[in-house]
Chain A
Amino acid sequence: MNELRTALRSELVSQLGVKGVLTDETGLFSGGLLDSLSVMDLVGFVEGKIGRAIPPAEITLANFDSIDSIVRYSRTLVSNGASA
């Protein structure tokens, strides 16, 4: 998941145009760094990285508002899939 963390940071800056201070806890949407139209780009990127589809109902601010929350959610999704 450290690889995902690094890749996310790079994607947010280079592809999604995030500027300014970006920590692992920075609120991407709540802090106004991304607008709502970027949600699916971010979701698609994470899906590609973890190799799993993200259920639409789980695309929430709690799961996608920061690098930390995305990594935490992805870890849960992957481990649930592995144990299923």
Chain B
Amino acid sequence: MGSGLWRALAIRNARYEGLYRKLVHPDGGEWAEMLRERGDFHAMGDHCWLDPHALIEDRAYIRMGNNVRISNCAIFGHDGSVNMINHAYGLKLDNVGKIEIRDNVYIGYGAIILPNVTIGPNAIVSVGSVVSSDVAEGDVVAGVPAKRVGRVEMSVEMLKLKNQKYPWLSMIERRASGYEAQMEPELVRMRVKHFFGSDA
């Protein structure tokens, strides 16, 4: 069965998304487009990239802007403790909230995003952070709970300086996209030599 057919099945029925992921190995861009076509999210902008292994629950309560990149993290639009409370206290309460991820946001590996938060625009959530309150425009946050540890603009300036020292910068500048398979062996060789002083 071709990859297009698995994708079509996943779009038609969410039960097939696991098979699509397992058999086709879509990249984050393809996965995001499949979810967009299926209409899982309240809204999704352009140029989004979602790790197919990210745990994203309550997708209907999530609104994403443009250029949102989500690593293998967890995003919840509900707080499951309400079910315990309801049972223990004989109540019938609900505990859900929206998640708004604005333009140009990166969410790092292992982060956990809880309901009722707005992230960005132009923000970075560092690896392993737990986001339980809003992340302001332009902030870099880290930690549990996530706190501001820097500013994206400053990170960009520092990244530019760091790149100027990379011997392979001209190769990166020649790339048409973020990854080019034919360049990769030479890039890896140059990086290994830079890091360890020898090719092997």
Report which A residues bind B (CB closer than 8 A): 29-30, 36-37, 39-40, 56-57, 59-61, 64
9 intermolecular pairs with C-beta atoms under 8 Å apart: A29-B154, A36-B154, A39-B149, A39-B150, A56-B136, A56-B138, A56-B151, A60-B151, A60-B153
What is the total of A-B residue contacts with beta carbons within 8 Å?
Answer: 39
Q: Which residues of B contact A37 (CB under 8 A)?
A: 142, 149-150
Report which B residues bind A (CB closer than 8 A): 136, 138-140, 142, 147-151, 153-155, 157-158, 161
* Cα separation A37 to B151 with both chains bound (whole Å): 10
* Cα separation A61 to B148 with both chains bound (whole Å): 16
Is chain A's binding surface mostly helix, strand, loop or mixed? helix
Q: Provided the pairs A56-B136, A57-B138 are in contact, do residues A40 and B157 lie with their beta carbons within 8 angstroms?
A: no
Q: Provided the pairs A30-B161, A56-B148 are in contact, do residues A36 and B138 lie with their beta carbons within 8 angstroms?
A: no
Task: Let me know if B154 and A56 touch, CB within 8 A.
Answer: no
Chain B residue at minimum C-beta to C-beta distance from A58: B151
Q: Which residues of A contact B151 (CB under 8 A)?
A: 39, 56-57, 59-60
Q: Which residues of B contact A39 (CB under 8 A)?
A: 149-151, 154
Task: Let me know if B161 and A36 touch, CB within 8 A.
Answer: no
Task: Let me know if A36 and B140 touch, CB within 8 A.
Answer: yes
